Amino acid sequence: MPVLVNGRATGLDPLDRGLQYGDGLFETIAVHDGRARFLEAHLERLAEGARRLALPSPDPERLSGQIAAAWPDGRGVVKLVWTRGPAGRGYRPPLSPEPTCIAAGFAWPEWPASAWSEGVRVRYCRTRLGSNPVLAGIKHLNRLEQVLARAEWDDEHIAEGLMLDTMGQVISGTQSNLFAVVAGRLATPALDQCGVAGVMRRAVCGWAADLGNQVAECGLRPEALETASEIFVTNALIGAWPVRELAGRQLPPGPLAAGFNAWLAERT
Ligand SMILES: Cc1ncc(COP(=O)(O)O)c(C=O)c1O
């Protein structure tokens, strides 16, 4: 597993604010034939996150070089971390931060083909997502809610857990975005209070819009999901996994996830 810190295979400063406070951002990027998929969207989200956290903006060319160095050939995953860098004790951000860039390459995870053809089983998590519009949408390093939620089950037959906000709206999976066809309309939870605006979510919305289907970004309650004719979850690595069972309710794999995955396969 190649790990580069600021382009070099050296250690990380233990006083890095990414480690001390989660003061930073990350991206998980699929690499196919040595090319980062949806690179522009990943870099745009990172730039938006840097703007919101008032972090120095990463140079896209430098980042692209580090992604390529972390996984130069074939199929793999690059996790890119961008932090405010090392500093002394205390929350106050340094006046002249020296950001840290970590690029780590990983082998492509092997999932059973049935996750796409037949779908996956999904449950609800008890851990709720707190609301904070300043952090909503960006992929910041503070992921304790997802860590607690993912610790709620160890049944390997359950692929994902859905998380609600404190108002009882369904927001996303622990590591994925959610789509559902409710009353004939493709919908995805609004992410103005919490959640991560996924790169694959953005791709699904663009794909649907090109077909003349505007995805509704709205509040979605568990009761609405009980009436859904199709549900799927997305992220940058998996594309779209149809949900074949949600909290014990069976669903047939639907046409939209299959259509989107076919479109994705053509451009990968
Ligand atoms: C909490 C959360 N939401 C959504 C996503 C999906 O984002 P993306 O499509 O960029 O992978 C992820 C991905 O890891 C995630 O961790």
For ligand 1, the distance from its centroid to the CA atom of residue 46, given in whole angstroms, is 13
Look-up of token digits 């405010």: 84
| Other beta carbons less than 10 A from residue 166's beta carbon | 11
Give the Cα separation of 160 and 136 in Å (integer): 21
For ligand 1, the distance from its centroid to the CA atom of residue 15, given in whole angstroms, is 27
Alpha carbon separation from 89 to 92, 101, 245 (Å, rounded): 9, 21, 47
Q: What single DSSP character describes residue 89?
A: S
188 lines ligand 1 (CB under 6 A): no
For ligand 1, the distance from its centroid to the CA atom of residue 79, given in whole angstroms, is 12
Domains of the chain, CATH where assigned:
3-107 (3.30.470.10), 114-266 (3.20.10.10)
**How many angstroms from the chain centroid is the CA of residue 22?**
17
Output the residue whose Cα is nearest ligand 1's atom 7.
198
Give the Cα separation of 8 and 101 in Å (integer): 10
DSSP 3-state of 195: coil
Output the residue whose Cα is nearest ligand 1's atom 13.
175
Give the Cα separation of 83 and 26 in Å (integer): 8
For ligand 1, the distance from its centroid to the CA atom of residue 175, given in whole angstroms, is 5
Q: What single DSSP character describes residue 16?
A: B
> Hey, what are 200's tokens?
């694959």
> Hey, what are 218's tokens?
């709205």
Instruction: Determine contact, residues 135/52, Cβ cutoff 8 Å.
Output: yes
> Would you write out the chain's pLDDT as a tens digit for each of its 268 residues?
678 899 888 889 999 999 999 999 999 999 999 999 999 999 999 999 999 999 999 999 999 999 999 998 999 999 999 999 999 999 999 999 999 999 999 999 999 999 999 999 999 999 999 999 999 999 999 999 999 999 999 999 999 999 999 999 999 999 999 999 999 999 999 999 999 999 999 999 999 999 999 999 999 999 999 999 999 999 999 999 999 999 999 998 899 999 999 999 998 8
Residues whose CB is less than 8 angstroms from the CB of residue 140 and which lie 6 or more positions away in sequence, other chains included? 22, 24, 25, 49, 53
197 lines ligand 1 (CB under 6 A): no
The residues with which 137 forms a beta bridge, in sequence order, are 196
Give the Cα separation of 242 and 118 in Å (integer): 7
Give the Cα separation of 107 and 110 in Å (integer): 9
